[in-house]
Amino acid sequence: MFEVLVYVYENYWQGDACPELHQLSRKLTAVGFEAEEIQAALVWLNGLNIAAQNTQIGLPDEAGVTGGPVVKSTIATTGFLPQSAASLRVYSVAEQEHLGAPALGFVSFLESSGVLPPHMREIVMDRAMAAPGDPLALDDLKIIVLMVYWSFGEEPDALVLDELCDDADFRIAH
């Protein structure tokens, strides 16, 4: 499945350039991916599209963060407030077991670095829980993070992109 996701990321750089899922399925078949991999990737991508659309609809305006009148309308229409700077994300036992310490540590690193905002972190967690693997490989989590950025039409910072695409097996310790 992750090979298909990497292909989609590389060939449809902006998420809005990606064809509809049924057309994408035909293109992936023509490229030579196996039907099971394509189906798993399309189900996963559909979940990503739904999560990204729902999150973009529910994101508060900047005025809402400061406590202006937008917060009240945000609560009324979406049912949630923006995350407070003092809030804490507690990972469930299922998330801890499925992701493992390296993946959770990487999510924490991205979040503490300020490059993975809370709304994107939650989509990463949702899509990571929907991915195969127990525990999820760190390289697979990095692909998930890239795909979440892709779904929002954002390109990660160059240093973050380097970290996401870096193969630690080829690093030389000094």
pLDDT value of residue 160: 73
Range of the domain at 11: 2-170
Cβ pair 123, 51 in contact under 8 A: yes
Mean pLDDT confidence for 84-110: 90
pLDDT: which is higher, 45 or 64: 45
The C-alpha atoms of residue 119 and residue 130 are separated, in whole angstroms, by: 17
Structurally, the chain folds into a number of domains equal to: 1
Per-residue confidence band for 171, with pLDDT thresholds at 50, 70 and 90: low
Residues 6+ apart with CB under 8 A from 1: 37, 40, 41, 44, 131, 132
How does pLDDT run across 104-130, given as a tens digit for each residue? 999 999 998 888 988 899 999 999 999
- How deeply is 53 buried, as exposed, middle or buried, from its count of CB atoms within 10 A (0-12, 13-18, 19+)? exposed
pLDDT value of residue 52: 85
How does pLDDT run across 44-57, given as a tens digit for each residue? 999 998 988 887 65
